Chains A and B, each alone.
Chain A
Amino acid sequence: MENQAHVINGHDAHGHDDHHEQSFWTKYVFSQDHKMISKQFLVTAIVMALLAMLMSMTFRLQLGWPDNKFPFLEKIWGHWAKGGKLDPTFYLSLVTIHGTIMVFFVLTGGLSGTFSNLLIPLQIGARDMASGFLNMLSYWFFFGSCCVMTISVLLPDGAASGGWTIYPPLSALPQAIGGSGIGMTLWLVSMVLFIGSALLGGINYVVTVVNLRTKGMSMTRLPLTIWAFTITAILGILSFPVLFAAALLLVFDRSFGTSFYLSDIFINGVALDHHGGSPILFQHLFWFLGHPEVYIVLLPALGITSEVIATQSRKPIFGYKAMIGSMLVIAFLSFVVWGHHMFVTGMNPFLGSVFVFTTLLVAIPSAVKVFNYIATIFKGNLVYSPALLFAIGLVSFFISGGITGIILGDSALDINIHDTYFVVAHFHIVMGSSAIFGMFAGVYHWFPRMFGRMMNKTLGYWHFWITLICVYGVFFPMHFLGLAGVPRRYYANTAYDQFDQLVNINSVISVFAMVAGLAQVIFVANFFYSMFRGRKAEQNPWNSNTLEWTAPVEHLHGNWPGEIPTVYRWPYDYSKPGAAEDFIPQTVPFSQTESSNAAGMH
C-alpha cells in the first residue's frame, strides 16, 4: 500500500517546479489547491461566526433585560425590532439560525474544511488532495449554502424559526409559524448544498489519507490530527446522507402533500389531510445525523489539541494508540446513542434504556482522552504559545461539559432537565466552546503555515483569557437556570412568577456574553492584521516534528520542491533521551539518531 501510494504520488508530481501561470480566478477564487481552499473555508467560517455571534448578542440583550428597549436593534434588524423591542418570532429565528450557523457552517465546514484541507496533504506528505476539483466543488457548495442561509435571514416572513433541529410539524406548516414558509425552504436548500459539500469533502479526505501517504507514513505514524480528520470524514459520509433523506421527506411533506411526518393535525380552523405519519420518525432520522454530528464537530478539535499539546509540551502525546482507540470507540458509539435526545418523546421506555447504556459508555473513552491530555502535560516543558492555552482551555471545557453529559444521558434525570437551560449550558461548553477553542488553537498554531506570517502573541493571550473567563461566566450559571426549571427557547420568562428571581442571573450571563463577543474583535483584528502585516514566519516556528513544517514557508503548488520527504518515525519524538535537540522530525532516519534509539523506535 505504501509503495503504491508513493508511486501515485510520484506520478502526480508532474512538473511542480514549472509554475504554470495562474490567473487571479484560478489562484484565489476557483482554486484547486488545498491550501487556498483551506483559507477560503477559514475566512468564510469567520464571517459566518461573526454573523451568528451578532445574533446571539441580540437575543442575549432580550434575555438579560426583557423589559428594556434597545433602539439601536431597530437599526440592525429593521422591522423585527420595532422601537428596539425584539419580535418573539424573530427571536426564534435568531436562535435557529445561530445554532445552524455555529453547528454546521462554523464548526463543521469551518473546522473540518479548514484544517482537513490544510493538514491532510501536508502532514501525510501528499502533493494535494486526491481530487482538487472535488475539493474546489466542496468549498463552492459550502459557500453557496452559507449565502442561501444568510439571505434567508433577510426575508420579510423571517428565517426558519423552529430551532436548529427543525422538528415537524412546526417546520412543515407555514401556518404554524412565519419562518416555516419560504424561510424554511431556504434552510432546506442551504442544508442540501451543505450536505453536498460535506460529502464531497469527506470522500476526498478519506481517499487522500488512504492512498496518498508518503513513503514510510504508515497508519501508526500518522499525527493524531489526521486520525481525527479521517474518522470525522467517515462519520460525515455515513450520517449526512441520512439528514439528506430526512430533509427530502420533509420537502415532500411541505410541498407535495405526503404524510411522512404529519398526522391528525388541526390548525387555524382547518383539519389537514394528513394521515398516518409520525413526527417521531423525523426525530429518529435527524438525530441519526445529529448525534454523530456532535463528534464531527468535536473530533477535529480534539485532534488539533493532541498535536498542539504534544508539540508545545515538548513531550510525546501520552498513549498514542489509546488516543486512536478511544476516537474509534467514540465514533462507533456516536451512531448508537441518538435516542438520548428523545427520552421524553414517548419513545418506548425500553428503547430508552438501551440508549442510556450506550450513552454512558461514551464517558469511558472520553475520560481516557482527558487523562491522556493531563498525562501529556505532566512532566512536560510547556511553551506557552496562544495555541497551547486554547488547547488547555479545550481540555478544561471537555471535562466541565462532559461530566454534565453523565446527568443528561441518564433518562431518569433527563425527564426533569430535558430542553431546559441545563442542556443549553451542557452542549455549549462541551461541544460549542470546546470545538471553537480547538479551532482557535489550530488557527494560532498553523497561521504561520497558512499565511507565512505570525499572529501577535500578546493579543492572542488577551483573546484567550477574556474568552475563557467569559465562557465560564456565561455557561456555568446557566446550569442553575436549568435546575430551576427554565425551558430553553423562551423569548422571555416574564410569564412565570417563579422565574422572576432569576432575572439577575440572566443579566450576569448577558454581560459575560457581550464581553466575550467584544473579545473576538481582538481576534479578528489580529487575524487580518497579521495576515498582511504580521512578522514573517520561520519555516518551523514551533520546532515541530510533523511534515507540514518541512515544506517551504512560501506556498508552492505541490507543496514540496523536488522530492516528497520520506518518513522514518512517528511524529512524537519530543525530548527523546539521548537526542541533541528536544525534537526529531519525522523525516530523520533512525540511522542518524543512534544515541536516542534506545528510548524506543516508534
Chain B
Amino acid sequence: MITFLGLIVTILVIIAIARIVRILELTAYLSGENSERITEKNNNLQGTLNLVFLFVGMIFIVFTTWRYSRFILPVSASKHGVQIDNLMNVNYVLIFTVFFITQILLFVFAFKYRHNKNRRAEFIPENHKLEFVWTIIPTIVLGGMIVYGLTVWNRITNAVSNKDAQVIELYGKQFDWTARYAGKDNTLGKANFLKININNPLGVDSLDPNAKDDILVKELHLKINQPTLLSIRAQDVIHSVYMPHFRLQMNAVPGMTTQFYFVPSITTDEMRKNLNNDKFDYVLLCNKICGMAHYTMKMKVVVDDENQYAEWMNKQKSFDGTAVADNTNPIKVSAVASK
C-alpha cells in the first residue's frame, strides 16, 4: 500500500513540477519574454543572490564552527599528539585564511560583475606577473608546510626504534580486541595463526620461553609517561587500532605486524577532571571496515598512574599461571629477575 502511495505521490510531484514549468512559461510569454534567454532581471537577482549566499554562508560557517568546535577531541593524551595538534592549528589558520579570501573574492566578483548591457567585459587573456606571483606564493607556503609536516612525521615514526619502550601487543579479530603484555622480560612470545584454538585465542607458542610471562587482557592499561610500543596484529581481516584521544592510528593487517610508539601523558582520572565528566573513558575503536559488527568493535583504554598500574598488573595472570609482580620499569625488573 505504502509503495503504491509513494509511487502516486512521486508521479504527482513530477506532474506538478511539469505544470509549474508550463505556468512559468506562460507567464514569461505574457510578460513579453518568449525564450529561455537570460534577462537583466535574472542577472540582477542571481548576482545579488550570490552576495546574499556569501553573507549567509559565512555566518553559517562561523556559527557552525563556534557551535561544533566544542566537540573536537580534547587536548591530546599522548606526547606526540601535542605536536600533531600544533601542526593542525597552523593548518587551521592557513586554510581558513585561504578559504575566506578566495570565497569572498569569488562571490563578490560574481555579484559585482553581473551582466550590465551598458558595460563590456574587459579582454584580459593573461597577466604573467600576476600568474607568477600566485604560483610562487603557494609554492613557498606549501614548501614550508611540507618541511614542518615531515619533521613531525619523522619524529613520530622514528621513535619506533626506542629500546626503552614497554611492548604491548594489540590483536584484532571480528569483532573484538585483545591486548598481550610482554611480562617481565618485555619480549612477546612468538605466535602463529596455526596454533590458534579456543584456549589460545592469539596462537601464542607455549613452547617459547618468552611466552611464559605473557599476559592476555581485554582492557588496555597504560602507565602514565611510560614509553609504549604497540605491536599490532590481526586474525582474519584488516582492522585498525584507532585511539583518537592519543592521536594514534595504525592498521592491523593479517600476515604482518605493524607498530606504533607513543607516550601516554594524561591519566584517565586527570582527563575526567579536565572534562568534568566522571564517566569518561579512553577508548580504542576499530577504524577499518571489518564486517557486520565493525561499529561495535572496541576496547576500553585506561591510563593509570604508577600505583594504579602496579595494582592492576598484580591482579593479572600470566600464561604460566603466576600472578605478575609490579613491573614499574619492565627493563629493570627483568634485569633483576635474571640475576
Residue numbers of A with Cβ under 8 A of B are 71-72, 75-76, 88-89, 92, 162-163, 167, 169-170, 173, 176-178, 262-267, 271, 276-280, 313-322, 344-346, 349, 352-353, 356-357, 360-361, 363-364, 367-368, 370-371, 373-375, 377-385, 389, 392, 395-396, 399-400, 403-404, 406-407, 410-413, 415-416, 418-420, 454-459, 461, 465, 468-469, 472-473, 476-477, 480-481, 483-485, 487, 489-493, 495-498, 501-502, 505, 521-522, 524-526, 529-530, 533-535, 538, 541, 572, 574-577, 582, 599-600, 602
Q: How large is the interface on B (under 10, 10 to 19, 20 to 34, 35 or more residues)?
A: 35 or more
B121–A575 CB distance below 8 A: yes
A77 to B240: give the CA distance in the assembly, Å.
31
B242–A487 CB distance below 8 A: yes
Q: A357-B150, A575-B120 are in contact. Are A319 and B126 (CB under 8 A)?
A: yes
Which residues from chain A contact B87 at a C-beta distance below 8 Å? 410, 412-413
Which residues from chain B contact A278 at a C-beta distance below 8 Å? 255-256
> Can you give 12 A-B contacts (C-beta < 8 A)?
A167-B238, A176-B236, A315-B124, A360-B142, A380-B122, A382-B114, A410-B153, A416-B247, A456-B25, A480-B71, A525-B17, A525-B18
- With CB as the reference atom, state the residue of chain A lying closest to B196: A266
B43-66 interface with A by 8 A CB criterion: 43, 46-47, 49-50, 53, 57, 60-61, 64
A267 to B46: give the CA distance in the assembly, Å.
59
B72–A484 CB distance below 8 A: yes
B36–A582 CB distance below 8 A: no
Which residues from chain B contact A316 at a C-beta distance below 8 Å? 123-125
A416–B121 CB distance below 8 A: no
A267 to B84: give the CA distance in the assembly, Å.
37
Q: A313-B113, A360-B142, A525-B14 are in contact. Are A92 and B255 (CB under 8 A)?
A: no
A538 to B281: give the CA distance in the assembly, Å.
67
A602–B125 CB distance below 8 A: yes
A75 to B5: give the CA distance in the assembly, Å.
11
Which residues from chain B contact A480 at a C-beta distance below 8 Å? 64, 68-69, 71-72
A413–B72 CB distance below 8 A: no
Q: A279-B254, A382-B115, A468-B53 are in contact. Are A502 and B71 (CB under 8 A)?
A: yes
- Cβ of A544 to closest chain B Cβ, rounded Å: 13
- With CB as the reference atom, state the residue of chain B lying closest to A465: B49
Which residues from chain B contact A403 at a C-beta distance below 8 Å? 94-95, 98-99
B292–A476 CB distance below 8 A: no
B contact patch SS: helix
Residue numbers of B with Cβ under 8 A of A are 2-3, 6, 10, 13-14, 17-18, 20-21, 24-25, 35-38, 42-43, 46-47, 49-50, 53, 57, 60-61, 64, 68-69, 71-73, 81, 83-84, 87-88, 91, 94-95, 98-99, 102-103, 105-107, 109-110, 113-116, 119-127, 130-131, 134-135, 138-139, 142, 145-146, 149-150, 152-154, 156-158, 173-174, 193-194, 196, 203, 232, 235-238, 240, 242, 244-245, 247-251, 253-256, 258-259, 279-281, 283, 285-296, 298
Q: A176-B291, A279-B253, A364-B142 are in contact. Are A496 and B283 (CB under 8 A)?
A: yes
Which residues from chain B contact A498 at a C-beta distance below 8 Å? 280, 283
A92 to B294: give the CA distance in the assembly, Å.
10
- Cβ of B244 to closest chain A Cβ, rounded Å: 3
- Cβ of A515 to closest chain B Cβ, rounded Å: 14
B71–A381 CB distance below 8 A: no
B150–A345 CB distance below 8 A: no
- Cβ of A449 to closest chain B Cβ, rounded Å: 14
- Cβ of A437 to closest chain B Cβ, rounded Å: 14
Which residues from chain A contact B237 at a C-beta distance below 8 Å? 169-170, 173, 176, 265, 267
B60–A472 CB distance below 8 A: yes
- Cβ of B201 to closest chain A Cβ, rounded Å: 10
B124–A416 CB distance below 8 A: no
B138–A363 CB distance below 8 A: yes
B258–A346 CB distance below 8 A: yes
A418 to B241: give the CA distance in the assembly, Å.
11
A368 to B132: give the CA distance in the assembly, Å.
10
Which residues from chain B contact A495 at a C-beta distance below 8 Å? 295-296, 298
Q: Say which residue of A321, A383, A411 sits within 8 Å of B149 (CB atoms).
A: A411
B99–A271 CB distance below 8 A: no
Q: Say which residue of B60, B113, B294 sits within 8 Å of A378 (CB atoms).
A: B113
Which residues from chain A contact B95 at a C-beta distance below 8 Å? 403-404, 406-407
B73–A399 CB distance below 8 A: no
B146–A487 CB distance below 8 A: no
Instruction: Knowing that A265-B193, A266-B193, A316-B124 touch, tell me 15 more A-B residue pairs with CB under 8 angstroms.
Output: A71-B2, A75-B6, A170-B289, A264-B254, A267-B236, A267-B237, A315-B124, A318-B127, A381-B116, A407-B95, A416-B248, A456-B24, A497-B279, A525-B14, A575-B121
